[in-house]
Amino acid sequence: MPNLPGARKRPLLLLFVALLIGLAGVVQPVGPALAAVDGMTVDMSTYGGAPTYRASGFIYGLSQNGATPAQTLQSQIKVTEMRAGGSQIGCPNGGYVNGAYPVRWTAEKAYYARAKALGAHFEMILAGLWGADGVCTVPRWPGNGGSWTEYNAFVDQIISDVKAAGMTGSDVRWDLWNEPNIFFWGATQAQYLEMVKRGTQRIRAALPNAVIEGPSCACNPTNSWFTTYLDYVKANNVVPNILSWHALPGDPAVDAANARAALSARGLTVAGLDINEYGAFGGEQQPGPSAWYIARLERGNVDGARANWGMVGQTPSLYDTMGWLVTANSNQTMGQWWVYKRYAEQTGQRTKITPGSGDSHDGTVFQDSAAHRTTAVYGATPSAATGQVAVTYTNIPSWQQTSGSVHVKVEKLPSTNAAVSAPTVISDARVSISNNTLTVNLDWASNLDAYSVTITA
């Protein structure tokens, strides 16, 4: 590069500007700032709870033999949950009800092997194994005509197979049916509930320690279908170990509070809550909304698995992209994969954050005194206001500072359906703090983007 007349002066000018910003205790965006629209506050004096990466799950997303995408793409984001049932394999006449169960069970074992290698729990969707996947022909539903002979044989087949495959531990969850309140179930709710009772009793008789999950409905805990389910499982002593539902869309924090209230009102307890499909394909499966869902799942102390609306033979496929975290076929990381990567890098103690107006901006923050580091991932709903969002850190502890200053790195995790090799660094500089307070202004031009902020001493 030629030595232009102003080239030597420019670094000095930038340093002077950085010093002015530092003295103000504010990290400003480069260039003209957008209009202020919202704010969040992180109180570093209030914290507790180690990271569990509870939001790092997905439904399907691997090849049918479980070999691709590469295992490292899941291990780097600390996947905690996988969910599958062989859906769409062998269509239009796939699954047990069509005499085509073995190939789906083979896929199920492959998925379990990957989950076990990752240390994740695996959810078996019995509806998929039956053949009820929303695509295949389903000539009969369990209990049709009052006969349960075929369903009993179906459950016994799976019990035999899980024993043979060594899949009887607590790392396997029995998800009796997927979205039974819509077209994945073709009979009445009463018939579905009878199936739940018979299936639960049969599984627990053979495997007393089996972990059963349900109802995995496309509804929230205040829905009348959901409350009818709760009343039934209580009355018939077939309460699941894990209570589950879907958020497409939804607010995990609000739904979790409602679920706990519904359980408490009935004197019921469960081992945990699981939103085993969250984030609708398209507008919600982008970095900003993904980071927002992570924050809301963490806030509600709920496990989660990304939804997957792929179709076999189409792009994205049900058996590819890890729920749209990597590109189809080539399996390269996208912007939202980096959301989960930064989430997986969080260590220490979960820290209190007050979300933005109407909870439309939210984040996950962890402070690690041993590493002298605070890491955060911030997201937004698809309808959130765009503009400048101020994130104010208060009560910054002494271990996070050096001589009254901190180092702040701001990264944008961009919204795109193309490969992203790394986040975009927005700023990376030392900043002075004032009264143990620091404000990081994020120019949120698109609510589909997410941001990562790392503070080191």
Mean pLDDT, rounded, of the chain:
93
- Identify the domain containing residue 42 by its residue range: 25-50+348-456
DSSP string, 259-281: HHHHHHHTT---SEEEEEEES-T
Domain holding 83: CATH number? 3.20.20.80
How many domains, in total, are found in the chain? 2
- Asked if 391 and 36 count as a contact pair (C-beta separation under 8 A), the reply is no
Residue that is last in its domain, among 344, 375, 402:
344
Single out the residue in 314, 344, 374 at which a domain terminates: 344
380 belongs to a structural domain = yes
Question: How far apart are the C-alpha atoms of 285 and 27, rounded to whole Å?
Answer: 29
Please check whether residue 166 lies inside any domain of the structure. yes
Q: Which segment of 21-35, 197-211, 310-324 scores lowest on mean pLDDT?
A: 21-35
Alpha-carbon span 158 to 138, nearest angstrom:
19
Residue 205 lies in a domain: yes
CB atoms within 10 A of CB 370: 8
Residue type, position 416, single letter: T
Q: Which of 26-35, 57-66, 105-114, 342-351 has the lowest mean pLDDT?
A: 26-35
Do 317 and 264 share a structural domain? yes
The predicted pLDDT at position 22 comes to 42
φ, ψ (nearest 5 deg) of residue 27: -95, 110
Q: Is 121 in a helix, a strand, or coil?
A: strand
d(CA 238, CA 176): 12
Specify whether 292 is located in the same domain as 359.
Answer: no
What's residue 353's pLDDT? 98
pLDDT digits (tens, 9 = 90+) for 397-427: 999 999 999 999 999 999 998 999 999 999 9
Q: Which two tokens stand for residue 421?
A: 């090799």
Long-range contacts of 46-49 (CB under 8 A, 24+ apart): 46/351, 46/352, 47/349, 47/350, 47/351, 47/352, 47/367, 48/349, 48/350, 49/349, 49/350
Q: What would the pLDDT profile of 234-285 be if each residue is shown by its tens digit?
A: 999 999 999 999 999 999 999 999 999 999 999 999 999 999 999 988 789 9
2 has pLDDT over 70: no
Residues 378 and 296 in one domain: no
- What the block records as the tokens of 88 is 């769409």
At 10 the pLDDT is: 41
Helix axes 189-206, 224-235, angle to 10 degrees: 40
Q: In the predicted model, what is the mean pLDDT of residues 132-145?
A: 97
pLDDT at 1: 32
Structure tokens at 392: 């104010």
pTM of structure: 0.93
In three-state secondary structure terms, 443 is strand
pLDDT band at 218; cut points 50, 70, 90: very high
CA gap 115, 135 in Å, rounded: 26
Q: Is residue 356 part of a domain?
A: yes
> Which of these, 456, 453, 457, lies nearest to 27 by C-alpha position?
453
Q: 70 and 38, same structural domain? A: no
What sections of 49-170 are H helices per DSSP? 71-75, 101-118, 126-130, 149-165
Residue-level pLDDT at 104: 98
Residue 400 in any domain: the answer is yes
Rounded to 10 degrees, what is the CA torsion of 202, 205, 206, 211? 80
pLDDT for the residue 381: 97
CA 416 → CA 226, 422, 449, distances in Å? 36, 13, 9
Q: Does 191 reside within a domain?
A: yes
Instruction: Using the 3D structure, point to which of 299, 320, 344 is the last residue of a domain.
Output: 344
Instruction: Give the CATH number for residue 423.
Output: 2.60.40.1180
Which phi and psi angles does 455 have, rounded to 5°? -115, 125
Name residue 312's beta-bridge partners: none
